[in-house]
């Protein structure tokens, strides 16, 4: 993309707007919608898990629906067997992969020209996978910069052990760990750091262009 700071800036605006709308009761909290969804599909446990992970994995939408945190609460309440853990992992990975596909093709619609290599560096993907929201923006950027679609499948493969550990870990740990990961202040901090780093990158990039032009 032309400016690396565009995505973090738009993420900051989206997150702030969503929190303002929830605070002033313009829209209901995402968690309350997910709880109602659970009640409506009480017999479709895996379908609920799939849907809430898919919602959180889509760019911008994920700021509204704390899917992973809600999924953790459901898993803790369900007291899953080892076979249940396997099915839950597959449902989550499938949902996250479809979400990555959606984000990738949404990025494609921006029709930006590629400015770098066609292959994605693994370290960049692993860094983006720290949080499902950061992965969404990463996939959008991959599509916008015409990167190889194989990054979507690679993320899906890496999500297998990630979600397996997430679900297995919640059987031992409490939901406070995930609650901290979904904390709004933490998200603002992470996006703020991302924005600052992107602005520095943009400034240096344009300084180099000016030096080459002079």
pLDDT in tens, 75-86: 766 677 778 778
Q: How much is the pLDDT for 95?
A: 94
- Contact (Cβ atoms closer than 8 angstroms) between residue 74 and residue 38: yes
Band of residue 179 on the pLDDT scale cut at 50, 70, 90: low
Q: Which residues of 188-198 are buried (b: 16+ CB within 10 A; e: fewer)?
A: eebbeebbeeb
Q: Quick one: residue 190, left, alpha or beta (phi over 0 = left, psi -120 to 50 = alpha)?
A: alpha
- Contact (Cβ atoms closer than 8 angstroms) between residue 52 and residue 34: yes
pTM, 2 dp? 0.78
State yes or no: pLDDT of 184 exceeds 90: no
Q: Which of 3-7, 19-23, 148-152 is the least confident region?
A: 3-7
As a 3-state breakdown, the chain gives helix, strand, coil percent values, each rounded to 5, of 75, 0, 25
d(CA 179, CA 87): 23
Q: How much is the pLDDT for 203?
A: 86
Q: Please state, in angstroms and as integers, the Cα–Cα distance from residue 48 to each residue in 45, 95, 113, following that order.
A: 5, 11, 38
Q: How much is the pLDDT for 89?
A: 85
Tens of pLDDT, residue by residue over 142-170, are 998 888 899 999 999 998 888 887 776 66
State yes or no: pLDDT of 94 exceeds 90: yes
> How much of the chain exceeds pLDDT 90, in percent?
21
> How much of the chain exceeds pLDDT 70, in percent?
80
First and final C-alpha spacing in the chain? 24
d(CA 80, CA 89): 11
């Amino acid at each position: 993309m032309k400016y690396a700071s565009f995505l973090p800036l738009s993420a900051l605006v989206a997150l702030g707007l969503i929190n303002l709308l929830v605070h002033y009761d313009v829209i209901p909290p995402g968690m309350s919608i997910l709880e109602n969804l659970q009640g409506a599909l009480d017999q479709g446990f895996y379908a609920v898990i799939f849907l809430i992970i898919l919602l959180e994995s889509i760019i911008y939408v994920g700021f509204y629906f704390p899917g992973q945190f809600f999924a953790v609460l459901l898993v803790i309440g369900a007291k899953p067997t080892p076979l249940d853990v396997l099915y839950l992992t597959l449902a989550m990975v499938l949902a996250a992969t479809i979400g990555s596909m959606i984000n990738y093709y949404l990025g494609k619609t921006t029709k930006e020209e590629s400015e770098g290599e066609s292959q994605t560096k693994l370290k960049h993907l692993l860094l983006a996978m720290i949080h499902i929201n950061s992965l969404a923006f990463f996939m959008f950027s991959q599509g916008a910069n015409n990167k190889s679609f194989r990054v979507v499948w690679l993320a899906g493969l890496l999500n297998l052990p990630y979600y397996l550990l997430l679900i297995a870990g919640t059987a031992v740990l409490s939901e406070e760990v995930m609650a901290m990961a979904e904390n709004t202040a933490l998200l603002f901090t992470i996006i703020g750091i991302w924005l600052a780093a992107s602005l520095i990158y943009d400034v240096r990039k344009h300084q180099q262009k000016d030096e080459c032009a002079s």
